[in-house]
Chains A and B, each alone.
Chain A
Amino acid sequence: MATNGIGAAVRRREDYRFLTGGGTYTDDIDRPGQVYAAFVRSPHAHARIKGVDKASALKVKGVVAVLTGADVAADKIGGLPCGWLIHSKDGSPMKEPPHPILAADRVRYVGDALAVVIADSLAAAKDGAQALKVDYQPLPAVASIAAAERAGAQTVHDDVPGNQCYDWHLGDKAAVDAAFAKAAHVTKLDIVNNRLIPNAMEPRAAIGEFDRATDSYTLYTTTQNPHVIRLLMCAFVLQLPESKVRVVAPDVGGGFGSKIFHYAEEAVLTWAAKKIGKPIKWTSDRAEAFLTDAHGRDHVTKAELALDKSGKFLAMRVATKANMGAYLSTFASSVPTYLYATLLAGQYTTPVIYAEVKSVFTNTTPVDAYRGAGRPEATYVVERLVEMAARELKIDPAEIRRRNFITQFPYQTPVALAYDTGNYEATLGEALKVADYAGYAKRRDASKAKGKLRGVGFACYIEACGIAPSAVAGALGARAGLYETATVRFHPTGTVTVLTGSHAHGQGHETTFAQVVAEKLGVAYEAVEIVHGDTGRIPFGMGTYGSRSLAVGGTALAKACDKIVAKGKKVAAHLLEAAETDIEFKNGKFSVAGTDKGVGIGEVAFACYVPHKFPIDKVEPGLEESAFYDPANFTFPAGSYICEVEVDADTGTVEIQSFVACDDFGNIVNPLIVEGQVHGGLTQGIGQALTEGCVYAADGQLLSGSFMDYAMPRADHVPSYKVSTKVTPCTHNALGVKGCGEAGAIGAPAALMNAITDALAPLGVRDFQMPATPLRVWQAIQAARGSKLAAD
């Protein structure tokens, strides 16, 4: 291993700039002559727009322009597209109502933008937005799945009867029903996967700019995938040639999925920049972020697991309803379907599974992928069912999992996926050891002696990362390819620039990708520069989501490195006057097999750019290679989490006593960064289970619209974690890597809720819904005691 190569805990090169205030986030950028935008957003969850009086805002000093939904319509601007077509059971395509970038005649959620006010200062833009007179005719709103489904409910879109987007299913229903009919035991759970608000710490921001001299646009934006934004905005919304549009995603302060999607503001600013003739800047404030960043989760599920007497799983039946919000966000439709139901086998040999998913429109903010996207919801269903079954059958929770683990690979699940590799026993065994499960009874008794209830909970999750292959995803309705690209460019004097289509917004690619190149090409880590986040510099890319950067983007990079070596061999053969087939490459050196004759890759690079002695008849000068990599399969990270809690039955407070995570991410490039990803994911997962919950009033007003009302996990909500890894390398990518970005958020909620319900079981509490706030815990206890105080 090179010192800073694959496997080394290299300290991140990004950190110096972030630690000294030298980062460049979108809001840190000012463009010459820029003006400022403020969006006018509906205060109603649902209303008809009867009129907009532009003059009321134009009167405000400093206001330059007011653009409305009518202007958008007049310019024939397209709507925001959805990237995945789902077909219902009956073969009909999902309902895809138009999603205008500014609403013209109807607003459908609190925060839906209908106009933008542009002014020469931010304060004037905000004053103008406030002054704009809009004549709304409020309409009844449906703010929850239940309300949207009620007979005779108000429709969010006129042409979507019953508010249903699709009614989809997966699996063999008849086989599942037959297995249930014969089962010795059936465990049932009603599950609400609580709606979350992503809250990356950097609010979204964008600057749209038009250059008349070159007739071209630049958009600076807080995105996880600048090329995808350019593609969607150019092809579907603004109908611009991509060659005339540059999208830059500079330093981005966290994404967690919420910065994947193409948002209206990006298109509005780009469009308006040409109209106004000046760069236009917009930065979301936190209140706006709460209302307009796509939310996550929001499933209501009925789940059943059929078992035989010995605790073997026979079948699983799941019926889920998913909230899409008011419009379909970019990947919304895929999250509760292909990213969810396909994961219901978990780590187990459940032979037959049937899942039915109905998704509905409501008068709420659009819902889309949030860290884990479908997979946390699936893991929550599976792991709550499994643990509940263990409790009901009085089987140890570790034991019931072992009895059902998949042990032979490759393994074809009944829900479409084929796992290439894994070792679930190994991660569970390690987690049990680290958690000192054997000593649990003692700790429980010690807690009891203090007057506290102790509980332990498990989650053995699986996830599917690096979504692929493109052909398969395409057949299932994906409207995009799912490959990644990389270019490795040697400079004449031997340093290297890498252009990657992946994007880092906290993941540390500038460090890890340089480690991969240092390892593959034997050049100094310091000599490798990673460039990302700019369509003007990077040929193409699909960006970063779904824990795909290393598994897909890293593999593309490894492929490009291989091409460099292949070309280098031709050049080295010429320089060394040997046959190409005799040339070997190792640790940055090309040598003639069996001799001490050799030449370094730096010298080869130099010869490629100063081709004085060069096989010019056979090889082109220059040393730069690009690769596209389209994965052969998903990768399947998996792991075991064990959580112990203490609950105070009098106050309902939950304290996490320990949290152990043992994950299998395949090979690891930088263990320091991997651990950091796990810590962050765990805290988001714990946030979902313990503190976070998005709340809408029945009229569609967002009640949890600030950090005062929406409880983000803080440092004293969570413990220090005990994390470790086991390795089964992925079998189908060159690096043997699987992805680690979402695991924590996927596994943590089930482990924590299993622990809390275990602690409360002696009081007769069976189950209750996340988040386990003191109030909810206390109410669950009161309900079990038959007290009237239980009512919500």
Chain B
Amino acid sequence: MTITVNLTVNGQKVTRQVEARTLLVQLLREHLDLTGTHVGCDTSQCGACVVQVDGVSAKACTLLAAQCEGANVLTIEGLAKDGKLHPMQEAFREHHGLQCGFCTPGMVMSALDIVRRHPSPDEATIRKELEGNLCRCTGYHNIVKAVAAGAKAMRG
């Protein structure tokens, strides 16, 4: 069965006919060619797929596209403006918070949600809040540093 979904992705209105079983992450990757959102698991454990839905972080592998009817979705592709990195992206670059880059989009999107809820997060808070995101490369050390620095930069 196909359904029609209407939503806003990175500020653009989109309408697509998809199989009813289509997940949000499939809609993004396969129908909208936004391949920055990754799939790292099949049990909602890794966080490689984190995006924002209506301003709140969500695992795109765990939502049906149909559930996002009318929603405002922000993906990693929507963060940088005119080629200039968002302060959180910049903090990841500055602090070497990424290696292979596979977990990175989800990490950055989760980081934004951490900052939304904890504008000045300390190390313990960041580590605890990152429990839904796995990274096999960085050992988290520089990600934690980057999130703290990004939060600071966002406070201005």
Pair from one complex: yes
Interface residues of chain A, those whose CB is within 8 Å of chain B, are 11-12, 14-25, 27-28, 123, 199-203, 251-254, 256, 285-287, 505-508, 672-673, 675-676, 678-684, 706-708, 712, 714-716, 718, 720-721, 744
Contact A253 B101, beta carbon cutoff 8 Å: yes
A-chain residues with CB within 8 Å of residue B48 when the two chains form the complex: 201
B104 adjacent to A18 (CB under 8 Å): yes
Cβ-defined contact, A19 with B43, below 8 A: no
Contact of A712 among B21, B128, B136 (CB under 8 A): B136
**Contact present for B100 and A506 (CB under 8 Å):** yes
Q: What residues of B have a CB within 8 angstroms of the CB of A706 in the complex?
A: 41-43, 45
- Nearest-neighbour CB distance to chain A for B114, whole angstroms, equals 11
- B19 touches A (CB below 8 Å): yes
B127 touches A715 (CB 8 A): yes
Select the residue from A20, A251, A708 with max chain B CB neighbours within 10 A: A20
Task: Kindly list chain B residues whose C-beta atoms are within 8 Å of the C-beta of A254.
Answer: 99-100, 102, 136-137
Given A20-B76, A201-B102, A253-B102: A672 touches B139 (CB 8 Å cut-off): no
> Within the assembled complex, what's the spacing in Å between the Cα atoms of A202 and B79?
22
Other-chain residue from B36, B94, B100 in contact with A201 (beta carbon distance below 8 A):
B100
Nearest-neighbour CB distance to chain A for B143, whole angstroms, equals 7
Interface residues as binary, B130-152 with A (CB distance below 8 Å gives 1, 0 otherwise): 11011111111111110000000
Query: What residues of chain B lie closer than 8 Å to A25, measured between beta carbons?
Result: 35, 38, 102
Closest chain-B Cβ to A477's Cβ sits at a distance in Å of 31
B141 and A506 contacting across the interface, CB-CB below 8 Å: no
Q: Which one of A24, A28, A676, A721 contacts B99 once the chains associate, using CB atoms below 8 Å? A: A676
**Neighbouring B residues of A716 by C-beta, 8 Å:** 124, 127-128, 130-131
Interface size on B, residues (CB 8 A): 56
B80 at the interface (CB under 8 A from A): yes
The answer to whether A21 touches B35 (Cβ under 8 A) is: yes
CB proximity to A under 8 Å, residues B41-90: 41-43, 45-46, 48, 75-77, 79-80, 85, 89
Whether the pair A712, B134 counts as a contact (CB closer than 8 A) is: yes
Residue of A nearest to B140 (CB): A715
Of B40, B123, B134, B143, chain A has the most CB atoms within 10 Å of the CB of B40
Q: How far is the CA of A517 from the CA of B108 in the complex (A)?
A: 32
Specify the chain B residue showing the minimal Cβ separation from A709.
B43
Between B99, B100, B102, B141, the greatest number of chain A beta carbons within 10 A of the residue's beta carbon is seen for B100
How many whole Å from A688's CB to the nearest CB in chain B?
A: 13
Assuming the contacts A23-B36, A683-B140, asked whether A508 and B130 have C-beta atoms less than 8 A apart, the reply is no
Q: Which residue of B lies closest to A283 (CB)?
A: B39
Most chain-A CB neighbours within 10 Å: which of B38, B39, B103, B123? B38
A253 proximity list for chain B (CB < 8 A): 38, 100-103
Q: Complex formed: what's the CA distance from A396 to B138 in Å? A: 33
A271 to B39, CA, bound (A): 27
New contact pairs (20) apart from A201-B134, A286-B40, A714-B130, CB-CB < 8 Å = A18-B104, A19-B80, A19-B104, A21-B77, A25-B35, A123-B21, A203-B40, A253-B101, A253-B103, A254-B137, A506-B101, A506-B137, A679-B139, A683-B141, A707-B134, A714-B131, A715-B130, A715-B144, A716-B131, A718-B139
Please state if A20 and B43 are interface contacts (CB–CB under 8 Å): no
Give me 16 A-to-B residue pairs in the complex whose CB atoms sit less than 8 angstroms apart, sorted by A's number: A11-B93, A17-B101, A19-B76, A19-B93, A20-B77, A21-B75, A28-B29, A201-B48, A203-B39, A286-B46, A505-B100, A676-B99, A676-B141, A679-B142, A708-B45, A712-B134
On chain B, the residues within 8 Å of A673 by CB distance are 96
B123 with A720: CB separation less than 8 A: yes
Q: Is the beta-carbon distance between A201 and B46 smaller than 8 angstroms?
A: yes
How far, in whole Å, are A577 and B126 apart by their CA atoms in the complex? Answer: 64
> Does B96 lie within 8 Å of A675, measured CB to CB?
yes
Contact, CB under 8 Å: A202 / B100: yes
Q: Which B-chain residue is minimally distant from A682 (CB atoms)?
A: B139
Chain B: CB-nearest residue to A25: B102
Tell me if A286 and B42 are in contact (CB < 8 A): yes
Task: Knowing A715-B130, A716-B131, say if A287 contacts B100 (CB, 8 Å).
Answer: no
- B141 to chain A minimum Cβ distance, whole angstroms, is 4
The answer, yes or no, to whether B7 is at the interface (CB within 8 Å) is no
Contact across chains for B42 and A287 when beta carbons are under 8 A apart? yes
- A17 cross-chain contacts in B, Cβ below 8 A: 101
In contact, A708 and B85 (Cβ under 8 angstroms):
no
User: A13 to chain B: closest CB distance in Å?
Assistant: 10
Q: Is A683 in contact with B130, judged by CB distance below 8 angstroms?
A: no
CA distance A23 to B37 in the complex (A): 10
Say whether B43 contacts A708, CB under 8 Å: yes
Note all chain B residues with C-beta closer than 8 A to A22.
36, 77
Report A-chain residues with C-beta under 8 Å of the C-beta of B108: 19
Q: How far apart are the CA atoms of A437 and B133 in the complex, in Å?
A: 34
Tell me whether A23 and B101 are in contact (CB under 8 A).
yes
Min CB–CB distance A6 → chain B (angstroms): 18
List B1-45 residues whose CB lies under 8 Å from chain A.
19, 21, 29, 34-43, 45
A251 contacts B96, CB within 8 Å?
A: no
The digit string for B89-130, where 1 denotes a CB below 8 A from any CB of A, is 100111010111111110010000000000000011011101
- For B77, the chain A residues whose CB sits under 8 A away are 20-22
Residues in A with CB closer than 8 Å to B137 are: 201, 254, 506, 676, 680
Closest chain B CB from A667 CB (angstroms) = 19
Q: Shortest beta-carbon distance, B129 to chain A, in Å?
A: 8
Shortest B155–chain A CB gap in Å is 20
Q: Is the CB of A19 within 8 A of B134?
A: no
Q: How far is the CA of A28 from the CA of B140 in the complex (A)?
A: 25
Q: Determine the chain B residues whose CB is within 8 A of the CB of A27 once the complex forms.
A: 35, 39
* Cα distance A673–B103 in the bound complex, in angstroms: 17
A718 touches B140 (CB 8 A): yes
Q: Which residues of A contact B140 (CB under 8 A)?
A: 679, 683, 714-715, 718
B80 touches A20 (CB 8 A): yes
> Could you say which of A21, A123, A712 contacts B76, with CB atoms under 8 Å apart?
A21
Instruction: List, in ascending order, chain A residues with CB within 8 A of B135's CB.
Output: 201
Contact of A683 among B37, B79, B92, B139 (CB under 8 A): B139
In the docked arrangement, what's the CA distance between A19 and B112, Å? 13
A290 CB to closest chain B CB (Å) equals 10
Q: Looking across the interface, which residue of chain B has its beta carbon closest to that of A252?
A: B100
Of B46, B105, B133, which is within 8 A of A21 by CB? B105
